[in-house]
Homo-oligomer: A and B are copies of this chain.
Amino acid sequence: MTVDRDALQSVLDGRWAQVRDEIRAQMDELAFNPDPNLSTEEYRALTTENLHLLARTGRPRQGFDPAYGGGGDVGGVVTAFAMLGYGDLSLLVKAGVQWGLFGGAVQVLGTKRHHDEYLERIIDGELLGCFAMTETGHGSDVQHLRTTATYDPATREFEIHTPDEGARKDYIGNAARDGRMAVVFAQLVTQGRSHGVHALLVPIRDADGTPMPGVAIGDCGRKAGLNGVDNGRLTFDRVRVPREALLNRFGDVAEDGTYSSSIANETRRFFTMLGTLVRGRISVAGGAGTATQKALALAIRYGAVRRQFADPATGEEVVVLDYLVHQRKLLPALATTYALHFAQSDLVADMHDLQAPGTEGDEWRQRDLETRAAGIKAVATWHATTTIQTCREACGGAGYLAENLLPQLKADTDVFTTFEGDNTVLLQLVAKTLLSDYGRRVARLDLAGKARFAADLVADTVAERTGLRALLRRGDVRDRAYQRWLLVEREQHLLANAAQRMRRALAPGADQFGIFNGAQDHLLVAARAHVDRIVFDSFAAAVDRVADAGVRNLLSDVLRLYALAVIEGDRAFFIEHAYLTPARAKAVTQAVNGLCGRLRPHARTLVDGFGIPEAWLDCPLLDGEREAGAPVQALPAGEPTGLASVG
Contact = CB atoms under 8 A, between A and B. Distances in A.
A524 to B, nearest CB: 6
A313 B513 contact: yes
Contact of A512 (B399, B586, B644): B644
Nearest to A429: B643
A642 B431 CA distance: 12
Contact of A37 (B39, B516, B593): B39
A644 B428 CA distance: 10
Contacts of A424: 325
Given A418-B393, A582-B576, A582-B577, A221 B637 contact: no
Contacts of A632: 137, 166
Interface residues of A, number: 111
Contacts of A328: 521
Contacts of A114: none
Contacts of A36: 221-222
A439 to B, nearest CB: 9
Contacts of A645: 432
Interface stretch (A70-78, A199-207, A407-415): A407-415
Given A224-B407, A428-B643, A515-B647, 11 more contacts: A137-B307, A139-B397, A223-B407, A266-B637, A389-B389, A393-B417, A393-B422, A397-B415, A503-B647, A575-B575, A578-B582
B422 A396 contact: yes
A428 to B, nearest CB: 5
B389 A385 contact: yes
A500 to B, nearest CB: 11
A141 interface: yes
Interface string A299-321: 00000000111111100011000
Contacts of A324: 517-518, 520-521
A629 interface: no
Nearest to A498: B646
A392 B224 contact: yes
Interface of A: 36-37, 39-40, 134, 137-141, 143-144, 146, 166, 170-171, 187, 194, 196, 220-225, 265-267, 307-313, 317-318, 322-325, 328, 385, 389, 392-393, 396-397, 399-403, 406-407, 410-411, 414-415, 417-419, 422-425, 428-429, 431-432, 435, 464, 502-503, 505-506, 511-513, 515-518, 520-521, 523-524, 571-572, 575-578, 582, 585-586, 593, 632, 634-639, 641-647
Nearest to A418: B396
Number of copies of this kind of chain in the complex: 2
Contacts of A399: 418
A240 B136 CA distance: 62
A42 to B, nearest CB: 11
A428 B646 contact: yes
A502 B645 CA distance: 11
A277 to B, nearest CB: 16
Nearest to A643: B428
A84 to B, nearest CB: 20
B37 A139 contact: no
Given A308-B141, A392-B414, A435 B646 contact: yes
Contacts of A196: 637-638
B513 A646 contact: no
Ordered nearest first, which 6 A-B pairs have the shortest CB separation?
Answer: A224-B407, A572-B572, A222-B402, A505-B647, A576-B582, A36-B222
A497 to B, nearest CB: 11
Contacts of A577: 582
B309 A141 contact: yes
Contacts of A419: 397
A539 B641 CA distance: 34
A318 B513 contact: yes
Contacts of A511: 313
Contacts of A431: 646
Contacts of A221: 36-37, 401-403
A221 B131 CA distance: 36
A515 B312 CA distance: 12
A637 B322 CA distance: 59
B267 A194 contact: no
Contacts of A140: 308-309, 396, 642-643
